Structure 1
């Protein structure tokens, strides 16, 4: 298809990938569904090895769930990490939205500062 069709609710772990072949062009990797960053990285690698394009998404969550997902964002054709923006209050120092652009959390918010 000339239009990207992305598996979202059909994908949780690497075990789901083979059943998605021929049905989707991309898969939406969500750390909330994979169980965390380690499995999300493995899932992304396995998906690319099978010819899928990547999307990185999220459920409604705080910036603590988005900060590690940003590590995958650079590999993805599509990124939807707006989960914290739906909260009435996120964690201090978390991601911010300025003029429709999501900016990463403050240095040291999650993991070592770069």
Structure 2
């Protein structure tokens, strides 16, 4: 069952759309530089919270979405994309650990 809230969310496409829909004040420059990172972080937060988001209480659901989007936006006000490392590409140059069994070394 879809709600008006779900229908509204389907219409939103940009970080600015989401921030405006949830009436979150934002700095356009911060969003311009970090829009994809903010949306991905918001998505990650929603995924982490999915078990605590009530499907049958639209008011509570809106509040949780508002809080998580505010948190995602604030992450990039207080930090930057390189530090936050939202996307896999930022982890590619980190040291990698590989295990090679001793038996494979002497083959």
Above 0.5 in TM-score?
no
TM-score, scaled to structure 1: 0.22
| Larger RCO, structure (CA 8 Å, separation 6 or more) | 2
Q: Which structure carries more strand by proportion?
A: 1
TM-score, scaled to structure 2: 0.23
